[in-house]
Homo-oligomer: A and B are copies of this chain.
C-alpha cells in the first residue's frame, strides 16, 4: 500500500464573523492534527500578515489571492455572479479544477450554496443543496432534512432526502442500516397531505430501510435515524426549537434563580434545543464535490471541526456513495 496522498483543502479565509484570524488559526490547527494541506483564498496581504502571527512550521500552506468578498447582506445569486473573484468562488474553482479536494467556508450560507451549485453542480436528481443534520442535540444521531433549502417539494425530493440522510447517517454517525421515517401528521399509512401520501408510496419501493410515518413527537425521541420532510416544515421546526430553547432558558433562570450555577445549566439545555448554537458546521449535501459550511460565528475550534467533517466526507467517498445511491433509487422508479 503506497502512502496516501495528503488531502488538500481550499479554505475561504475571508468568510465568517471572525475572519481571517480565527479561520486561519482553525485551519492550521486542522492541518497539523489531520495532516492536511491548506490553500487559503482571500486577500493575500491580510492572510499573510495573519499567517506571520502563527506557527506554520511543518504545514503546507498556499495562498491564492482574491480581490472580492461576499457579504452577508448581499443577495446570494447576484453576489456570486458579480463576484467571480470572491474568496468563496475561487475556493470552489480550486475544487472544480482538481487543485483542491474539498472546500470549507464560514461565509454566508446562501452564497456558498449558490457558488457550489454554479461551480461544482448538484448531484443527479438534486435540484439544490439539501440542508440537514441532527439539528436537535437531545436526539444527537437523528438526521432531519430538509431544514429549509427546499421549500415546496415534489414527492421524489423527499426520496432524495431519504437517500442523502441514509448515506449521511452511515458516513458520519456510523449507523449501519439507518431507519428512515417520513414526518407526517399520523403514524398510519394513508395519513397526510398529497405530498406525504405519494412520498410514502415511493419510499416503500425505494429499497431504503423505510419504517413508515413518524410524527412531530418522534423527533426529540429519536425514533428514526433519518427523518425527511419538506424544507417548509423543517425550517419552521428548527426555528421554533431554537426560540423555545431561549424562552425555556429564561424561564429556568427566573424560576430557579436560587439554584447555584443555574445560568450554566440553562444555557446547556438551550444549546441542546438550539440548532443555531450547535450546528457549527457540516457537509453541504447534494453537491458534486466536498463542500463543508461552518457557522458564521465559528472560532478556530469550530473551523477545525468543519475541516474534519470535510475530511470524513472525503475519506468515506461520501460524494460517490451519494451519487451511486441516488442513481440506484432513480433506476428503481424509471424501470417501473
Which A residues fall within an 8 A CB radius of B? 136, 138, 148, 151-152, 183, 185, 192-194, 196, 215-221, 229-233, 235-244, 246-248, 251-252, 255-256, 259, 265, 268-269, 272-273
Contact = CB atoms under 8 A, between A and B. Distances in A.
A192 B151 contact: yes
B243 A240 contact: no
15 contacts: A185-B231, A185-B235, A192-B232, A193-B230, A215-B239, A216-B237, A216-B241, A237-B237, A241-B244, A244-B244, A248-B269, A252-B252, A256-B256, A256-B259, A259-B259
A269 B272 CA distance: 16
B219 A138 contact: no
A233 B232 CA distance: 9
Contact of A269 (B185, B237, B242, B251): B251
Contacts of A151: 185, 192-193
B240 A219 contact: yes
A193 B185 CA distance: 19
Given A151-B193, A216-B240, 18 more contacts: A136-B244, A151-B192, A152-B194, A183-B236, A185-B235, A215-B235, A216-B235, A216-B237, A216-B239, A217-B240, A218-B243, A220-B240, A220-B243, A233-B233, A233-B236, A240-B241, A251-B269, A255-B269
- Closest A-B pairs by Cβ, 4 of them: A216-B239, A216-B240, A152-B193, A217-B243
Contacts of A185: 148, 151, 231-232, 235-236
A138 B236 contact: no
Contacts of A229: 236
A151 to B, nearest CB: 5
Q: Report how many copies the assembly holds.
A: 2
A256 to B, nearest CB: 6
Given A194-B152, A251-B138, A273-B248, A221 B236 contact: no
A233 B230 CA distance: 10
A272 B243 contact: no
Nearest to A268: B255
Nearest to A237: B240
Given A148-B185, A247-B138, A252-B269, A236 B239 contact: no
Contacts of A252: 252, 269
Nearest to A256: B265
A268 to B, nearest CB: 8
Nearest to A240: B216
Contact of A237 (B220, B221, B236): B236
A230 B233 CA distance: 10
B193 A232 contact: yes
A148 B216 CA distance: 12
A268 B248 CA distance: 11
A183 B233 CA distance: 10
Nearest to A251: B269
A150 to B, nearest CB: 10
